[in-house]
Amino acid sequence: MAKSSTESNSSSEKTSLTPADWEQAALALIAEKGIAALRVEPLARRLGITKGSFYWHFPGRDELLARALERWEQQDSQHLKLSLHAATEPTERLTDFVWRTSRQTLTHRIYVALCASPDDPRIGPVLRRVTERRLKYLASALEELGLDAIKARHRANLMYSSYVGYLQLQAQGLVPDRDESDFDTYVQHVIETLIEV
């Protein structure tokens, strides 16, 4: 007996999208509209697929959120390791950090969205781990520049506060964006103010 077209479509949907596809789509939606917008039906519509396909991979929304956050944290950790092991001077690594974090890539927009829910038990621990790892990276590079451990930690906190504040101000259109003429001047000012010891 031949399969009905509904069964056939459902079967092809199950194999056409992987859990990683759903996780990446979830992260993109979080970056655009925040955690509250992450719901199965709108996500399925965005992917052009039925929501039944979702349940082939995940029991529910919370599991998708947990897996998406795990993916984001792993990617962030890998990027940081690459930067940390780069064969460059600490000043150059720190300068690259400021330039990268000023460009509002997907990962930075996800971070802003997650910062809106620091008390959420699913989000808070991820934010804390990511933030602590980044602060440790910054402090280590600053120690290489000659600051003692306490001053390096304080400067790292200041640099990171500048990053978080910049993301918030950029979301409100209150600081130059990367396509604006004074963006480079602004970022260069941040580098001269926060990195030179």
Cβ contact 83:93 at 8 Å: yes
In Å, what is the CA distance from 42 to each residue of 49, 63, 72, 155, 194?
A: 10, 16, 21, 42, 42
In Å, what is the CA distance from 134 to each residue of 3, 7, 94?
A: 52, 47, 11
**Domain segments of the chain as ranges:** 70-194
Instruction: Please give the model's pTM, rounded to 2 decimal places.
Output: 0.83
The Cα 191–Cα 17 span in angstroms is: 42
Which is more confident, 176 or 104?
176
Query: pLDDT tens for residues 92-117?
Result: 889 888 888 887 688 888 999 999 99
Exposed/middle/buried for residue 69 (C-beta within 10 Å: 0-12, 13-18, 19+): buried
Buried b (16+ CB within 10 A) or exposed e, 8-36: eebeebeeebebeebbbbbbbbbbeeebe
State the amino acid at position 125 in one-letter form: P
Residue 143 has pLDDT above 90, yes or no: yes
Which residues are within 8 A (CB) of 160 and not within 5 positions of it... i.e. 6 or more apart? Answer: 131, 134, 135, 138
The Cα 121–Cα 65 span in angstroms is: 12
**Average pLDDT of the residues in 160-184:** 87
Query: pLDDT tens for residues 55-100?
Result: 999 999 999 999 999 999 999 999 888 776 676 889 988 988 888 8
